[in-house]
Structure 1
Amino acid sequence: MLLVYPVNEIMKYIPVLLGSIIVGTTSGNPLWSLIPVVLVAAFGIARWFTTSYRIDADHVQLRSGIVARRTLSVPRPRIRSVDVEADLLHRVLGLAVLAIGTGKQTDKGEEFKLDALDTSQIPALRAELLSHTGQHAPDHVDAAGAPHISRPDALAESGVEIGHWRAAWVRYAPLSLTGLAVVAPIAGLGAQYGVIDVLSESAVVQHLDDDTAAIVTITIAGLTVLTLALVSLAACGQYLATWFGLRVLDNGTTLHLRHGLFTTRQITLDLARFRGATLNEPLLLRAARAAQLEMIMTGENPRQKILPQAPRVAVERTLDELLRSRRGPQSKVSADSATPQPITGSALGTVDLRRHGPAARRRRYTRAAWPVGIVVVAMLAVVLTGGHLAPWAWTFPVVFAVVMALLAEDRYRGLGHRVLPGTTGPTWLITRRGSLDRNRDCLEAPGIIGWTVRQTFWQRRAGLATVVAATAAGKKAYLVVDIPIAAAAALIEEVTPGGLGTR
């Protein structure tokens, strides 16, 4: 710990330390640059002397702070999860970070983390902290009554594997925006420090003129290809670093996730808080027959991902296994028969949804037409005020209109809902919407705590409404968009019988 804390603090203040090194070098006295390093390292060492934790029968307390002392206290009955994380330095030293979760979203500074614990202590400590939930039990108890763990990761590896990562899945990483999220801040930082000015003032750029249009085109195309390559490589790197070695284990009461290449993470999810799942299908992933799986849980991350970009078949299989172990046999009404049949996760992921009718389709096309109309009006205004537009410029609104029409049709095809009634299990509400970022939300009826039916001015003109299912889990509100107003009450009654009450 006396090594981890100083190294972490030095890494945190690298920009300041680099500035001090430059100042010390230019001043002719390099020793001055060592003073900030020593101060930062001393601050990290001081954390060891001022940090302690205590576990008693009722509370877990963490006391920390050098200048301002702070004590975090968590009642043990409120503990819902104990997650373990270890970066490369922690792993080399045989240490890990243990984070305690209470099912409530907290700010970064309010997180309850025990940093740099010996990995040999974590399994027993984890079992002790979760003993009141019945989620874990030690392998056996020795003669002194202390829990004995056969291996350090025994608790984390208990349960049935319902999903695991495969190296071939990395091909789906460039089909998301994660690479752009990695490259964009770097490019922005470079632009802020004058990289664009250097390029614009370079000799190559200064000598470009109207006779070098072909060279300019080739250069722009080359930069585009290079950017796409960098974004793809960044996405693949981030994907491997985050999800390498992912295993999803279900022991009946909790779900365990273990993943990470350099920084390993072990996440525990209490299945008593499970309320459903979301199949996330962005446009590019959908075109490649892939998806992501997210959990809908109370008191957890609204988008708690348990499978990253993966083949749609693998996502459906994991959802199927999760629901089978959690809910047992359930039933649904098939499209051509009223005979109840077992509901599985794959049924929730592939069952046909009810269309919302021609009014919903017209509304998609009408909303898509507005941007095209604005572009056409702007171009006409330029011409009428004496401006000049090249003849080829009028092809732009035509192409734009075709693209928006295709987008409107795809948005309508992605719009739908379905209610799957259960016999031995809960009723499920499935709702889907979106095109560029499409979500198929599968929400169990017992998790719905209220309904809202709302209509905008234009929806009232079209006879449509948006039905909102309120829940304490996930995104809190799940929408059935542009459903015919006559079907809204029937939908609510079908999902939660008696939910409309009486007048």
Structure 2
Amino acid sequence: MTKPKRTHPLGLFLHMAHAIKDYWYLLILLISLYNQPVWFILGWVLVIGAILVWPIVRWVTLSYRVTPEAVEINSGVLVRHHEHIPYARIQTVQRKQWFFLAPFKLEEVTIETASHDDNKPEARLAAVPTSLAGEIDRYRQGAPAPTEVAPAVGEETTNTFATEEPASTGQATAHYRINNRTLFKFAVTSTGFIPLLLILLALYNKIPRSWTDTLINDATHLALIILVIGALVVVLIAWVGAFLWTYLRYYHFDVTLQGDQLKTAKGFFQRNTITAPLRRIQAIRIKQNIFRQWLHIQTVQVLLASKAASDDDDDDLVILPAVPQAQLYDVAPNFLGWLPNHMPDLGALNVADRHKWYLVRNALLVAIIPVAIATWLWPHWWWLFALVLILAYFQGLFAARQTGGQLLTPTMLALQTGHVWTKETYYVPADMIQSMRLERSVWMRRKQLMHLVVNVRHGNKNQSIELRYLQAKQAQRIYDWYVRTV
């Protein structure tokens, strides 16, 4: 019988990194106690214990064993824990390999089942041999021997996609690699610059007021030019930061269908590999923000009952980050058999032209109160706040125009929404729908309107897909289908 093993000593660095991530506030507390020697010393003791001693103790007391039946984890200091994880219960296996682990053929392996806690998986093995995850995958698939997936070949300017007939459960049946040109488009159109822009604006408020006042006084006659140039520089810095972040995260993105397992791999400094069984997929989401609509590229994600994809967009596993719109239904169905081979007509569920203004009204109501308060506090910026109302108006109109849906087959529902300038199309099998409900107010009853809400599992939470202001007959027909199906 296989003896329990410990992770490699390099795993200590990963344990310490996780400790710093979890207890970063202790470092801030330590700085605030600089003028109090006694508390400062105690603070240092606490910090050293949290980010140095405790990770060492965790590493020493953790061991693992992989058997043909399950993965076994032993951990705990004062209270010992023995975790037995059968392969049939595993939702996802995630592999992370930082660049400093690659020369040693080591990586971090994370295992999750449907019963894991919100913030941590059942098992996290830092710095284990790269062969370990492959061994777990072979036991999960019942394959007798490892099968290597050949790397994609071809010109750098074309996306690589291939399919072949399966010879065994471990052989790759579909493979796709993004090319640099498509990845560049994907990174350029990332909306990640928005939170970065807000962070930069928050940092601006931390700059001493005397510095900014001096600059403005020295260039009063150029104040407007400086303001405009400064704003452009801030936006450019945020955009470049978001571009680099996205490009490096999805560098050399690969997706492979191997038996009934979907496997994605990506990353420059950290190679992140996630393996998820097809049967664990709750729904498929196809996203396209307004920038990517202009470039005609779309992103395909799958909703899992797992947090393995917490580093991906919206915490969902990205399987095709940027596929040309014209190729989407040629490429994606090779990995996800649920999908049709063409873009379906989603006009069966829609918002009638005479009712679209309701969504516009709701968007304006959400924006008008904060805009009114901001205009009262900073009246000189009224033109900027007026721009927010204009954006809210068009966002409501965008949401109304993108709303759609259709019952594709007796067991498959397609739904489409427009949320924050992003079109999202969902494909949901009937047996994956957790619940469905109809909503309407007294006023909506007179207008014969309804909201349709479809709930599916999303990690450890619920994903609510809501189509608003549908014709009552349309929504009722979908609800009756669901009741009959379940």
Contact conserved, 1:174 with 1:236, CA < 8 A, in 2? yes
Partner of 2:172: 159
Distance 2:201 2:464 in 1: 36
- 1:140-185 Cα deviation digits (max 9, x unpaired): xxxxxxxxx4669999994133432221222332433324445655
| Aligned equivalent of 2:340 | 344
Matches within 5 A, 1:148-297: 149=146, 158-168=171-181, 169-181=183-195, 188=202, 190=203, 195-197=206-208, 200-202=209-211, 205-206=213-214, 208-209=216-217, 212-297=219-304
CA distance in structure 2 between the aligned counterparts of 1:398 and 1:97, rounded to whole angstroms: 50
CA change 1:346–1:319 in 2 (3 A) is farther
Q: Aligned partners of 1:4, 1:282: CA distance in 2, in Å?
A: 39
Deviation at 1:137, TM superposition (A): 0.8
- Quote the Cα distance in structure 1 between the aligned partners of 2:280 and 2:272: 21
Q: What's the CA shift for 1:77? A: 3.5
- Which letter maps to 1:233? V
Q: Find the partner of 1:483 among 470, 474, 479.
A: 470
| Matching residue's letter, 1:9 | M
Distance 1:175 1:84, change over 3 A: same
Distance change (3 Å), C-alpha of 1:89 and 1:136: farther
C-alpha distance in 2, partners of 1:315/1:92?
Answer: 37
Query: Quick one: distance in 1 between partners of 2:333 and 2:149?
Result: 30
Which residue of structure 2 aligns with residue 412 of structure 1? Answer: 400
Pair member with larger Rg? 1
- Equivalent-residue separation in structure 2 for 1:170 and 1:214 (angstroms): 40
Residue 436 of structure 1 aligns to which amino acid in structure 2?
W
1:12-161 matches, cutoff 5 A: 13=20, 44-56=55-67, 59-66=70-77, 69-128=80-139, 130=140, 135-139=141-145, 149=146, 158-161=171-174
Unaligned runs of 5+ in 2: 1-7, 38-43, 152-167, 310-314
Structure 1, unaligned runs of 5 or more: 27-32, 140-148, 328-342, 383-388
Name 1:385's counterpart in structure 2.
Answer: none
Cα distance in 2 for residues equivalent to 1:291 and 1:445 = 25
Output the aligned Cα RMSD: 4.4
Q: Secondary structure at the match of 2:101?
A: helix
Kindly tell me: are residues 445 and 212 of structure 1, through their superposed partners in 2, closer, same or farther at Cα, counting changes over 3 Å? same
Structure 1 residues 315 and 111, CA gap change in structure 2 (3 angstroms)? farther
Residue number among 341, 362, 384 corresponding to 1:367 in the alignment: 362
Write the letter of the residue equivalent to 2:94. Answer: D
AA paired with 1:478?
Answer: I
Q: How many Å separate the matches in 2 of 1:468 and 1:35?
A: 48
TM-score by length of 2: 0.74
Paired residue secondary structure (1:176): coil
How far 1:419 moved relative to its partner?
Answer: 1.9
Q: How much identity, in percent, do the aligned residues show?
A: 15
Cross-structure match for 2:452:
467
- Give distance in 2, aligned partners of 1:272 and 1:366: 41
Is the CA contact 1:84–1:267 (under 8 Å) kept in the aligned structure 2?
yes
Which digits, 9 at most, give the CA deviation of each residue in 1:366-400, with x for residues without a partner?
A: 33554787699999x99xxxxxx89x96x889867
d(CA) in 1 for partners of 2:329 and 2:456? 24
**Paired letter, 1:483:** L
Q: How many residues align?
A: 439
1:46 CA displacement: 4.4
Deviation at 1:187, TM superposition (A): 6.7
Q: CA deviation at 1:464?
A: 0.9
* TM-aligned CA deviation for residue 486 of structure 1: 2.8
* Corresponding residue SS for 2:342: helix
Conserved 8 A contact 1:292-1:315? no
Following superposition, the deviation at residue 267 of structure 1 comes to 1.1
What is the CA-CA distance between 1:483 and the residue it aligns to? 1.0
Mark the CA change 1:184 to 1:71 in structure 2 (over 3 Å): closer, same or farther: farther
Q: How many Å apart are 1:498 and its aligned residue?
A: 2.9
Structure 1 residue corresponding to 2:325, chosen from 312, 316, 322:
312
**How far did residue 356 of structure 1 move?**
2.4
Q: Deviations over 1:49-100 (max 9, x none)?
A: 3221234565533223446644433344422333222112221321112222
Q: Evaluate the alpha carbon distance shift between residue 159 and residue 458 of structure 1 in structure 2; reply closer, same or farther with a 3 A threshold.
A: farther
